[in-house]
Structure 1
Amino acid sequence: MFTKTEITRSFNATRELVFKAFTESEHLKNWWGPKGWAFDISKFELRQDGVFHYSQTSPEGNVMWVKFVYQEVNAPEKLVYTSFFSDEKGNIVRAPFNGSWPLEILNTFTFTEHEGKTMLTMIGTPVSPTDEEMKTYEESQEMVQAGFSGTFVQLADYLSNVSEN
């Protein structure tokens, strides 16, 4: 049984708005990624088999490319995609921070609403990892949790300042 990352977070916004924040580039550019990093979208196709390819640049100038391939887009309830580090052309590359990080992660985001608040549940699971990749993934859970938690704080801040339109 593979280890999975599971993160649940509540947002004080409607499910439709939270889903749009994940699926519309004009929203994403305002909160996605590590705090303080520049974010640039190369390609964004929100549909089954569509691609989201972007770069993030650290304050020190280091550029990291990431690519998503969407498996399921079910607005405003669910997003499923594989993610991987890539080069500028979108080819899979090893993670810049650890050469034994799994090449691909399957990510499932579900959005449920209750009384105007949205519960987001994210589950990430390595796709066909080697034993070494699985060990690295398991040992990196604290880093993964911290990274997503920080990103979700940025999303909460963004949602508190954006209208429903």
Structure 2
Amino acid sequence: MAENKTESELFITRVFDAPRETVFKAWTEADRLAQWWGPQGYALEVEKLELFPGGQFLGCQRSPEGHVMWGKFMYKEIIAPEKLVFIQSFSDEKGNTIRAPFSETWPLEVSNHLTFSEEDGKTTLTLSGGPYQASEDERAAYESMRPHIQQGLMGTLDQLDAYLKQT
């Protein structure tokens, strides 16, 4: 997978007051991931988490009103506890990639590159990513939603921070 930056890529850096191994496990162990991943107020139910290149995470997010959205990660690269690369998609309950429920032009796949570095017991997470193998229309849809994506990811990372403070 190319590491080349594109205009559509998103970059977020966040420091957590927790060891790198703990932060990495929060991303890669089903019981931990279920405690914080997703929009605020949503519950995550993990169907499977196969942590190896070519493995898959499959889960559904349930809104407080009961609305269910399935999603998956296809793991591409895992270097514990330094790096995690996966392709994220909306899916059905069987893990088949589907269009986002909110847009016919949303990218079918979004790449995510996470690096974890530790200094003095604190972990710096750097997240980059964006549309993967996307059409121009899909890239444009992603770009038009960039502020909302960033805001959503920051909220999710706030939940990760709160989870780490409890552990």
Q: Same fold (TM over 0.5)?
A: yes
How far is 1:28 from its partner?
0.8
SS at match of 1:17: helix
- Report deviation, 1:99: 1.6
Structure 1 residue ranges (4+ consecutive) displaced by more than 6 angstroms after TM superposition: none
Match of 2:90 among 77, 85, 105: 85
TM-score by length of 2: 0.94
Give, in angstroms, the shift of residue 96 of structure 1. 1.1
Pairing partner for 1:27 from 12, 27, 32: 32
TM-score of the aligned structures, taking structure 1 as reference length: 0.95
Q: What is the SS of the residue equivalent to 2:96?
A: coil
Identity of aligned residues (%): 49
- How far has the Cα of 1:157 moved from its partner? 0.7
Verify the 8 A CA contact 1:2 1:126 in the aligned structure 2: no
1:144 aligns with 2:149: yes
Unpaired segments ≥5 residues, structure 2: 1-5
Tell me the amino acid that sits aligned with residue 142 of structure 2. Y
User: Over the residues paired in the alignment, what is the CA RMSD in angstroms?
Assistant: 0.9
Shift of 1:130: 0.9
Q: When the two structures are aligned, how many residues end up with a matched partner?
A: 162
User: CA shift at 1:2, angstroms?
Assistant: 4.2
Residues 1:109 and 2:141 aligned together = no
Residues 35-59 of structure 1: CA distance to partner in whole angstroms, max 9, x if unpaired? 1112111111011101000000111
Q: Aligned partners of 1:88, 1:24: CA distance in 2, in Å?
A: 20
